[in-house]
Amino acid sequence: MSTTARGMVSALAVLALALIYLSWAYSYPSPARDLPVLVGWVLLALALLDIAAHTPSRVGRYLRQLLSGQALDADRDAGAGAPPPLRRHLGAMAWPVGFVGAVWLVGFLAASALFVFAFMTVQGRARPLAALLAASVITGVIWLGFEIGMRYETFRGVLFGG
Amino acid sequence: MIESVLAGLAGMGTLAGAGYLCLGVVVGLVFGAVPGLGGVTAIALLLPLTFGMDPGLAIILVGGVMGATSFGGSIPAILINAPGIALNAATTFDGYPMARQGKAGMAIGAAAAASTLGGIIGIAILFAVIPIAKQIVLAFGPPEFFMLAVLGLSAIAVSTGGAFLRGLISALFGLALAFIGYDAFSGGTRFTLGSEYLWDGIPLVPALVGVFAIGEMINLTLRGGSVAEAREAVRISRVWDGIRAVFRNYPILLRGSAIGTFVGALPGVGGTVAAFLSYSAAVQVSKHPETFGKGEIQGVIAPESANNAKDGGSLIPTLAFGIPGSAETAIFLGVLILHGMEPGPMLLIEHEGVMFSLILAVMGSSMLASLIGLALARHLALITLIDIHLLVPAVISVALVGVYAINGSFGDVILALIFGLIGYLMIRFGFPRITLVIALVLGSLAERTFHQSLAMSDGNWSVFADRPIALGLMIVALICLILPAARFLWRSRAGRAGPKSQ
């Protein structure tokens, strides 16, 4: 996706969020809704401006430069390499999500060890022995720092009574 | 004030105080030296870990980190042309060419001395401003504080370089998040989705850790590899020549420090702008501007003095008004909240001793960082060879354990994860995170003072224009908002005038 297209997608997402937020804010009585409604309207206006600034037209180009002084996104695209595919972005985001899921199940200590090992071997293609050593060290540091040093019991996970 | 300064010094003089200062310095140097981490991630990571600590010691630890990251970042900037943090980018212009000429030691020595002296000058200016700042704080009422919050958000958005519009959008998003939870004026809850967890609003610490630490680690996951591509052993020599050069070029040092302090005091502008301004000022006044960019030592002294002086400058709005002057000070406010100190205009008055501990810690840190940094320069450079695939899971694991440790609530961990995903998406789509965070911090102040102002004036909005200070702040905020457009129009006119004159 080019920078301009990425900008348009994100601007549309902001517009959608602004509409949802504004309608939600109106569901509250005054004075609770006063400032949220004001923020919602300004957000909506800025989202529309952002959309206009990302249209491939003279108006869009003028708005982009007026609001940011930046060169055309297309000019920046020419020098940039191809952005990573969507699955790589999703993959990168999936790691911390998976880690938190593992924490919920088996607790921090076990999940940290699993996370470090899996990340190094799968994402980093490290040798299993090196990954195992790193996982042990990092889990050891967490255990020593929190459970021994701070005398704090970390979350044990729902499977182990957490 | 003298008693508070002495109390701050006494706090640092204990074994524990000195120990935490040294720890903060080492953490700051390491995090500053690894590109992609930086002081913001360091403080975000340490934040939950300070939970059980004495507040004074926690602040000394954070001050140690704040004063050390700038110099830590200058080492890879000089050795391998990879600035540790954004504000060291200007140091690469002449620092790396010097390293390629075999003068790495001289460059590092100059960076160390300039960082130390710049940091001390910035703190000295802060000390001079504080007594006046207290008087100013007492002259401010709710309308003034509301306008100050608006000015803070406007200035931050403008400072995000070419992302002005997106900076504003991020700021508004942050304000929207700040409204979640119980509303004292209506007696009800807002935007909580029926969740009791959100009744007290978005907890700041998990949000900060998520946006900065987790978001950054997801971004590094995509990049892969290690920071430095090849193992380069650089002889570190002639360090003292570099230190002496700083004293010989004292006008550049003083100018850079002044620029750093002033720019640092503008909320959200930060050290990057200060460093570049200082560098370009040095080029413009030099009798031999053609030497810059080719290994001119003045090109190292100028940005390094500015990016450390900005620490003192950024503390001015933070301590006087509770408006963070930088991302680090925004997270620092999270440390205060964690330890029961309410950020805001009364901070300097009610917790003066603790604040002076911070100020002295930042000053002490910039001195200690140079000493320790010089001793560890080559080892710090090797840190850039650590594989990201070890760094990322380690940082995420420690960060989330720390977040959990605050309240023993798994909800905090989930919130940090959500904000981590939001932070990553913001990086990907070009929305500045700093404005979101600062708006999250300022949101409750802005809403409270907004309602108080309208209550004072029986609902009349002219209260913001009738009071001179509030009106002045409003005008400055409006100028900030139209600045990008004005700059573009001026540049367009200058561009059209150029060819015609030929």
pLDDT digits (tens, 9 = 90+) for B83-93: 666 677 778 88
Nearest by CB to residue A49, choosing from B165, B398, B447, is B165
B414 reaches A (C-beta below 8 A): yes
Q: In chain B, pLDDT over 90 holds for what percent of residues?
A: 13
Task: Please indicate whether, in this complex, the C-beta atoms of B488 and A124 are within 8 angstroms of each other.
Answer: no
Task: Please indicate whether, in this complex, the C-beta atoms of A69 and B405 are within 8 angstroms of each other.
Answer: no
For chain A, give the number of residues.
Answer: 162
The first and second tokens of residue B234, run together, are 């650089």
B110 phi-psi bin (left φ>0, alpha ψ -120 to 50, beta other): alpha
Distances (CA, A) of B185 to A34, A35, B143: 11, 12, 17
What is the pLDDT, as a whole number, of residue B7? 66
Average pLDDT over residues B231-236: 52
What is the pLDDT, as a whole number, of residue B365? 84
How would you write A121-162 as a 3-class SS string? HHHCCCCHHHHHHHHHHHHHHHHHHHHHHCCCCCCCCHHHCC
What are A36-60's pLDDT values in tens digits?
A: 999 999 999 999 988 888 888 887 7
- Does residue B431 register a pLDDT over 80? yes
**pTM of the full predicted structure?**
0.73
What is the pLDDT, as a whole number, of residue B266? 67
Specify the higher pLDDT residue, B152 or B32. Answer: B32
- Containing B183, the helix (H) or strand (E) segment is strand B181-183
B172 reaches A (C-beta below 8 A): yes
Collect all residues of chain A within an 8 Å Cβ-Cβ radius of residue B448.
Answer: none
Specify the higher pLDDT residue, B231 or A17. Answer: A17
What is the pLDDT, as a whole number, of residue A139? 95
| Residue from A10, A62, A97 to probe the interface with B (highest B Cβ count within 10 Å) | A10
Q: How confident is the model at residue B269 (pLDDT cuts 50, 70, 90)?
A: low
Quote the CA–CA distance of B160 and B63 in Å, as a whole number.
Answer: 25
Instruction: Give every CB contact of residue B365 below 8 A, 6+ residues apart in sequence.
Output: B21, B24, B25, B28, B63, B64, B65, B66, B67, B68, B119
Collect all residues of chain B within an 8 Å Cβ-Cβ radius of residue A7.
Answer: 429-430
Decide if B293 contacts B119 (C-beta within 8 A): no
DSSP string, chain A: --HHHHHHHHHHHHHHHHHHHHHHHTTSPTTTTHHHHHHHHHHHHHHHHHHHHTSSSHHHHHHHHHHH-PPPHHHHHHHSPPPPPHHHHHHHHHHHHHHHHHHHHH-HHHHHHHHHHHIIIIIS---HHHHHHHHHHHHHHHIIIIIIIS--PPP--GGGT-
Q: How confident is the model at residue A76 (pLDDT cuts 50, 70, 90)?
A: very low
The first and second tokens of residue B1, run together, are 């004030």
Task: Please indicate whether, in this complex, the C-beta atoms of A31 and B175 are within 8 angstroms of each other.
Answer: no
Q: In chain A, pLDDT over 90 holds for what percent of residues?
A: 47
- Highest mean pLDDT (candidates A17-31, B21-35, B355-369, B423-437): A17-31
Nearest by CB to residue B397, choosing from A24, A43, A142, is A142
- Does residue B136 register a pLDDT over 70? no
For A136-145, B169-178, B404-413, B416-425, which range has the lowest pLDDT when averaged over its residues?
Answer: B404-413
Task: Please indicate whether, in this complex, the C-beta atoms of A138 and B431 are within 8 angstroms of each other.
Answer: no
What is the pLDDT, as a whole number, of residue A72? 39
What are B187-220's pLDDT values in tens digits?
A: 888 998 888 888 888 987 788 788 878 888 898 8
Q: Is 0.85 exceeded by the ipTM?
A: yes
Q: What is residue B400's three-state secondary structure? A: helix
Q: Mean pLDDT of all residues in chain B?
A: 80
Report CA Rg, chain A.
24
Quote the CA–CA distance of B96 and B106 in Å, as a whole number.
Answer: 11
What is the pLDDT, as a whole number, of residue B478? 86
Average pLDDT over residues B375-379: 72
- Does residue B356 register a pLDDT over 50? yes
Instruction: Give every CB contact of residue B43 below 8 A, 6+ residues apart in sequence.
Output: B62, B65, B66, B328, B331, B332, B335
Quote the CA–CA distance of A149 and B431 in Å, as a whole number.
Answer: 39
What are A134-155's pLDDT values in tens digits?
A: 999 999 999 988 888 777 788 8
What is the pLDDT, as a whole number, of residue B4? 65
